Structure 1
Amino acid sequence: MWITVILFAAFMAVMLVVAALVVGGMKESRAGAVQSRQPTVSSSAPAPTGSPSATPPAEVPTRKYETAANPLVAPGATMPKVTCELPKLRGTKEKLEEFYRALIPCLERAWHPVLTQVGEPRIPVSVNAEDVKNTACGLPPPPDEALGFYCSDGTTIFVPLPRQLERGGPDLLTQLFLLAHEYGHHVQEQSGILSKHDLLYDEADGDQPKILELSRRLELQADCFSSMFLANAAGRGSIGAGLISQLKQSTFDDSDTHGSSKSAALWQKRGLNAKDTSACNTFAAPASEVS
């Protein structure tokens, strides 16, 4: 009898151990299922009948922190033709802001498809026509150096009203080229070109020739971007084809920061004739073309 009791007790102990192992295995299995809620989708396995096809998550666009090697200025990134319906240009703050608010969406319709092609983000931009004394980026440039300017902190284009009225009132070609140029800086910000430029500026460590050449490459690229936009908008809506002829006949002042008149004319021409954005890769150009 004692032998029977001992054997029965041993049997029960074994069963308890087995039960514990089974329960423990189930807990571990459930934990594993929770940690892998995002299923791995096999491209070769068909979706179950009657259920929607599984699709991988969309890739989130990110900035590519490059200048010459940025995908935005690689061959193949093309800009669509756009039609801009703009209000009549007047010399009051309200009318100028109305004009800018209509032009920004048109610039976005031109540039957003380009950014999408190269997998870079689209970031909203605002326009400020106040005569600001300071910005998140620091003091504004003097009026004799710039009609407008762009601040990446807050992604804002500043076009102070007094600067637009200094020469007898706003001119259509001037305003179109100005805002398209400043939006070009916003494109540089969205793509990562501007951030890489700023890093290279810091690495120059006060070397003025290097710093000025970097500035010219940045500004001449914005000129090229501006011209490229106008070439794709001219002859439609409110932007007449004749504006391109006016732009070709315009002249530029020499500038240590924005480029010589010769370099400005070169990059303007390349923007007007561009087949894709690689025509505006100023950071890959020889120094003689960004003088």
Structure 2
Amino acid sequence: MPTHPLRGARPAPPTGARFADSDAPLPQRPGRGGNGWPGWLLAIGLGATVVAVVAVASSGSGPRSGQEASERRTEFVVPTPPPTPPPRDLPVPPERPERPEPTEDTPLVEPTEEAPPPPPPAPHPVLLLADNPIHAGGLRAADTTACQLAGFSPDAAGQETYYRSAMPCAVDSWSHALEAVNLPSTEPALVVINGPVDTPCGTAQSSYYCSGNQTIYMAAAVHAQQERLGDSPGPYLSVFAHEYGHHVQALAGIMQAAWDDRYEVGVDSAAGLEISRRMELQASCFGGMLMAAMNRTGVVDINTATAALNDAANRGDWPQNGSRDHGAPERNGAWMRHGYEINLTFECNTWAVESGQVS
């Protein structure tokens, strides 16, 4: 059903060893003189001094020839002090490497830390129609066993129980395609109504999807009492699958983009009504894809699936109604069956086909 979205929303270095002042006295080493020579060298030096004194005294006892004096002269050589011991080993700081000069071939680049890659963007709708990401190749409604359908009864409580039991399969089946192209995959709300009800998108009188609060409204009384769909769940499931198709359009951004274009050209103009038909027929095609995903895994039996496809062929713009916003019933049935048989989103791209296919 046509829907109207809401409009307007160097830390300090460690302390090193301290050194004595340069004019402080050197410490005395054990077993050494003040000048650092060993004690035995001091004794030798004193003995040599005594010999020299005795030799001088002997020379004063009487004159002697120069030769005799030379023979009696005792010569000595002051020993050479030993070499100063090397200082204790101290750690040698590493040499700072030379910094190469930049050249034209090797420009100087300061090292920088690589920034982490930015996080991927959050999933969000893309306001495009024919080129929307949901139409990428290979996307399909995935086979699912996320639900077990409840027993069906046509009263309001029975319909609600049935729709709620089908919801996990719809969410699971479509989430794979949506997430593959970074589109949201949230679950819609579900409200079962028995009469007209106000919504953020306007008044819902029949089954209806509102993108303003992402809610599917299912009109239990209309289907059971006015349309007299009977006791088989197939036709009811067909309508639910179509409305969930609108939810996929809203998550993808197609619904908002379509309404923007429709308002621009005039809601009820020929161009505006064609936009509406393209949107409704795509929702039916998406609904057929969901039916296929549930049927292949046995969640929906073939009889229910067949009844759902047949019901779609009875919904649309009947000539007596004068409305041209949904497409002819045969077009609606054909697009749902196409989605069921092919189950590829780009095959449901009603925005890329000629006007005659959405009449």
TM-score grouping bracket, smaller chain normalisation? 0.7 to 0.9
CA offsets 1:203-235 (integer angstroms, 9 cap, x no match): 113551111101110000000000011011114
TM-score (norm 2): 0.61
In structure 1, the partner of 2:350 is: 282
**Structure exhibiting the larger radius of gyration computed from Cα positions:** 2
Instruction: State how far apart, in whole Å, the 1-side matches of 2:231 and 2:279 are.
Output: 25
Do 1:72 and 1:118's aligned partners in 2 also have CA atoms closer than 8 Å? yes
The answer to which structure has the higher helix fraction is 1
Instruction: State how far apart, in whole Å, the 2-side matches of 1:275 and 1:236 are.
Output: 14
Do 1:79 and 1:110's aligned partners in 2 also have CA atoms closer than 8 Å? yes
Counterpart check, 1:71 vs 2:141: no
Do 1:164 and 1:170's aligned partners in 2 also have CA atoms closer than 8 Å? no
- Summarize the Cα distance change of 1:253–1:183 in structure 2 as closer, same or farther, 3 Å threshold: closer
Counterpart check, 1:187 vs 2:248: yes
> AA paired with 2:232?
D
Instruction: State how far apart, in whole Å, the 1-side matches of 2:267 and 2:160 are.
Output: 38
CA offsets 1:165-209 (integer angstroms, 9 cap, x no match): 211645311111111110110111111000001100111135511
Counterpart check, 1:261 vs 2:325: no
CA offsets 1:74-131 (integer angstroms, 9 cap, x no match): 2222221112411101133333222121111110011011100111012231111123
In structure 1, the partner of 2:101 is: none
- Summarize the Cα distance change of 1:207–1:257 in structure 2 as closer, same or farther, 3 Å threshold: closer
CA offsets 1:236-258 (integer angstroms, 9 cap, x no match): 34410233444455532551111
Does 129-138 or 116-125 show the bigger shift? 129-138
Counterpart check, 1:134 vs 2:198: yes
- Summarize the Cα distance change of 1:60–1:140 in structure 2 as closer, same or farther, 3 Å threshold: same
Alignment RMSD, CA only? 2.2
TM-score (norm 1): 0.75
Counterpart check, 1:100 vs 2:159: no
Q: Secondary structure of 1:134's match? A: strand
In structure 2, the partner of 1:223 is: 284
- Summarize the Cα distance change of 1:168–1:180 in structure 2 as closer, same or farther, 3 Å threshold: closer
Instruction: State how far apart, in whole Å, the 1-side matches of 2:338 and 2:347 are.
Output: 6
Instruction: State how far apart, in whole Å, the 1-side matches of 2:326 and 2:242 are.
Output: 12
Alignment of 1:76-225 (within 5 A): 76-83=138-145, 84-130=147-193, 131-141=195-205, 146=206, 148-166=207-225, 167=228, 169-206=230-267, 208-225=269-286
- Summarize the Cα distance change of 1:212–1:40 in structure 2 as closer, same or farther, 3 Å threshold: same
- Summarize the Cα distance change of 1:180–1:207 in structure 2 as closer, same or farther, 3 Å threshold: closer
Measured after TM superposition, the shift of residue 135 of structure 1 is 1.4
Counterpart check, 1:40 vs 2:115: yes
> AA paired with 1:90?
S
Instruction: State how far apart, in whole Å, the 2-side matches of 1:87 and 1:132 are.
Output: 26
Picking from 49, 52, 57, the partner of 2:119 is 57
In structure 1, the partner of 2:71 is: none
Do 1:150 and 1:182's aligned partners in 2 also have CA atoms closer than 8 Å? yes
Q: Kindly tell me the number of residue pairs found equivalent between the two proteins.
A: 236
Instruction: State how far apart, in whole Å, the 1-side matches of 2:151 and 2:345 are.
Output: 30
> AA paired with 1:129?
V
> AA paired with 1:260?
A
Does 261-270 or 279-288 show the bigger shift? 261-270
Instruction: State how far apart, in whole Å, the 1-side matches of 2:144 and 2:293 are.
Output: 6
Instruction: State how far apart, in whole Å, the 2-side matches of 1:179 and 1:77 are.
Output: 21
In structure 2, the partner of 1:13 is: none
- Summarize the Cα distance change of 1:236–1:114 in structure 2 as closer, same or farther, 3 Å threshold: same
- Summarize the Cα distance change of 1:89–1:132 in structure 2 as closer, same or farther, 3 Å threshold: same
Q: Secondary structure of 2:342's match? A: coil
- Summarize the Cα distance change of 1:253–1:155 in structure 2 as closer, same or farther, 3 Å threshold: closer
Q: Secondary structure of 2:202's match? A: coil
> AA paired with 1:63?
P
- Summarize the Cα distance change of 1:242–1:168 in structure 2 as closer, same or farther, 3 Å threshold: closer
Percent identical among aligned pairs is 29
Measured after TM superposition, the shift of residue 272 of structure 1 is 1.5
CA offsets 1:12-54 (integer angstroms, 9 cap, x no match): xxxxxxxxxxxxxxxxxxxxxxxxxx9712xxxxxxxxxxxxx
